[in-house]
Amino acid sequence: MTRWGKAAAVTGTAGALVISCTAISHQGALQPPAVPQSSVPRSSPVAATPTPVPAVKHAPPMQLGIDIDAYTYPGQNVAAAAQADMAYIAKLHANAVSISFPFFAAGPGAVQARQATPSPARLGAIIRAAQAAHLFVSIRPLLDEHSLGVSRVGWVPPRPRAWFASYRRLLIPYAVMAQRLKVPEFFLGVELTRFQTMPRWTGLARAIRHVYHGRLMFTLNWNAKTHGGGRGVTDTVDAYPPIIGNFTAGWSAYDHALPSGTVLTEVGIDAVRGASAAPATWHWNVTKLDPSVQARWFTAACKAAVKTRLGGIYFWSLGLGGQITSGPSLANQGAWGGSAGAAAIARCFAALGTRARGHSH
């Protein structure tokens, strides 16, 4: 979904700012390090290269996943931060992790990595930590909306040929790294609805396949109706459907309309009463939070995903090495680590673990 593009303005009765779910990572609440900074010189991307761990190559029958929003900063001990995240994810009884890494707009026909973008080596350290935790891994490049100035969902590159060429140059080193580490799924794009059907995606997929031999994926916005990412690419959905009334019934109805086996790559909501009417909204103008909203939303979404035999569900999100168990705050209303929302995820994943692994999709 996008939480920016419906209007980059204050809207709604609660005065909520509409912006991308993934842009939440720009808030300071996820940025302060919870692990020591690296003592390694800045030229060294990671603290050490750990002993290789066999990768989980095949998706579990149902992916019970957590999203990591991997913005980085200079001096960060990425390996230690990733290990802390994975240890917490293990406590939630997840069997999968999706790692989103930001890239940035650089004019009408170009993209770029910035300081907050993990290098392929740094992203590799996060992947190795996930593999050491025996998690199924996927990686997603995420166009930063603050650099874009508008919603990803509503934007089209003014110079598509130049943009795709620049994007391809950005992605290739990450695809090479993903192949070397045997990452099973690599996403070509996320929530780029207005141009997700352009034929140039097929050319990009062809270029990536020269260096990467796993599954290529593309994330649709929650209400997108058409395939994205070109031929031979598998769709997933960032799921933020508005639901009034019974959460379980609403989630079941939404899931039933999806193709069988669809993976929900993002499920999230602010800890605000009434947020279910517009879950694609963050930072409501409120003075009081209600974490029970997240708990009930996550429980309903998790149970409905199994009932409707979806391929998986991922909860958005943890930051990399941030205060991952501090729960929602007025500054970061969508955070859920260490709160009632996290407890709901853990309960559902623990209850579903054995049964979900027995499903065939």
pLDDT score of 40 more than 80: no
Quote the CA–CA distance of 20 and 5 in Å, as a whole number.
7
* DSSP secondary structure, 260-282, as one string: TT-EEEEE---SSTTGGG-TT-B
Q: Tell me the CA end-to-end span of the chain in Å, nearest whole number.
A: 25
Residues 212-223: tens digit of each pLDDT: 999 999 999 999
CATH number (domain holding residue 97): 3.20.20.80
For residue 51, being part of any structural domain is answered with no
Q: Average pLDDT in the 131-158 region?
A: 96
13-27, 72-86, 108-122, 166-180: range with lowest mean pLDDT:
13-27
- Radius of gyration (C-alpha) of the chain in whole angstroms: 19
pLDDT score of 357 more than 50: no
For residue 28, being part of any structural domain is answered with no
pLDDT score of 30 more than 60: no
Residues 287-346: tens digit of each pLDDT: 999 999 999 999 999 999 999 999 999 999 999 987 789 999 999 999 999 999 999 999
Run of H or E including 216: strand 215-220
5-14, 64-73, 141-150: range with lowest mean pLDDT:
5-14
Q: Kindly report whether the peptide bond that precedes residue 119 is cis, defined as omega within 30 degrees of 0.
A: no
For residue 29, being part of any structural domain is answered with no
Q: Which residues of 201-224 are buried (b: 16+ CB within 10 A; e: fewer)?
A: beebbebbeebbebebbbbbbbeb
For residue 45, being part of any structural domain is answered with no
Tally of CB atoms within 10 A around 10: 13
Number of domains making up the chain: 1
For residue 42, being part of any structural domain is answered with no
For residue 181, being part of any structural domain is answered with yes
For residue 90, being part of any structural domain is answered with yes
Quote the CA–CA distance of 315 and 80 in Å, as a whole number.
22
pTM, 2 dp: 0.88
Strand 185-190 vs strand 234-238: parallel, antiparallel, or unpaired? unpaired
Which domain, by its residues, includes 205?
10-22+57-357
Instruction: Quote the tokens at residue 130.
Output: 């996930």
pLDDT-based confidence at residue 2 (cuts at 50, 70, 90): very low
Amino acid present at 254: Y
CA–CA–CA angle 71, 236, 314 (5° rounding): 55
For residue 34, being part of any structural domain is answered with no
